[in-house]
Amino acid sequence: MRDLLDLYRAFLSIRIAEQLQYRVAAAIWLIDIALSPLISIIIWSAVAKSQGGMVNGYTISSFAAYFIAAMLVNYVTDTWVFWEFEWRIRKGMFSSALLKPVHPVHGDVANNLAYKLLMLFVIAPVTLLLVVLFHPVFHLHWWHVPLLLVALIQAYIVRFSIEWTLGMVAFWTTRVSVLNQLYVALLLFLSGQMVPLTFFPASVQIVASVLPFRSMVAFPVELALGTLSLNEMLSGLAVQSIWVVLSVVLLVVVWRIGIRRYSAVGA
């Protein structure tokens, strides 16, 4: 464990230095992160006003709270590694990662965490601005906080593991963009990023709950809003825990099978 901590400390210092070289790209990513909740809040606030101030149990303040929470949860759990896997294999860059004495997943985790640490100094004022503009209402109690932290950690592990596994499809075919886009579309709707899951029919909500999508975003958001009962919180954490185990096992199994098929290529 001590060696692993030293490894991540070294990885983080390198990745942060790398991220600082791409300040313009970081600004573009930030605009994307901030615009999504801003547009959603404006649209659904207008809908709520046209419906007498409430839609499906959500008021204007509730919508603001939901999409601000969704922005923050997505910021914590978001990864992009599945987009890069294909490129790294096609360019032959994955070979150098395999020569290192540590699993490549550690470098990707460190890179992701470095980005989040840097963006924290910008996402915080954006959040504050949205709070001032839209006056969200949260019902979060102090005892929700440790449960929320556990939910965020588990959501990150599930999302990262599944998306890293998705990226490994590139071991079998080096053109996986269509599959990635299909996954993103499903994630957008079934994780509650587009609208709260309660807006969908019961059958869609069940699918989102059975699959890992709700555990990735919607459940931590609902927990942050403070609208869940204690039993709902505990059952949600239990489902997340199951998906943590399944996603990590899936990553390990696919890695062991896929790495045997890997052959270095270059452009």
The tens digit of pLDDT for each residue in 143-168 reads 889 999 999 999 999 999 999 999 99
Q: Is residue 264 part of a domain?
A: no
Domain that holds residue 181: 2-258
Q: Is residue 266 part of a domain?
A: no
Q: Is residue 166 part of a domain?
A: yes
pLDDT of residue 15: 67
Q: Is residue 148 part of a domain?
A: yes
Instruction: Give the residue-averaged pLDDT of 240-255.
Output: 96
- In total, how many domains does the chain have? 1
This prediction's pTM:
0.89
- The per-residue DSSP string of 138-167 comes to ----TTHHHHHHHHHHHHHHHHHHHHHHHH
Please tell me the distance from the alpha carbon of residue 90 to that of residue 74, in angstroms, as a whole number.
Answer: 29
Residue 255 confidence (pLDDT) above 90: yes
Contact residues for 118 (Cβ-Cβ < 8 A; gap 6+): 16, 19, 20, 26
Please tell me the distance from the alpha carbon of residue 48 to that of residue 56, in angstroms, as a whole number.
Answer: 9
Token duo for residue 52: 């007498």
Question: Residues 170-191, buried b or exposed e (16+ Cβ, 10 A)?
Answer: bbeeeebeeebeebeeebeebb
Q: Is residue 215 part of a domain?
A: yes
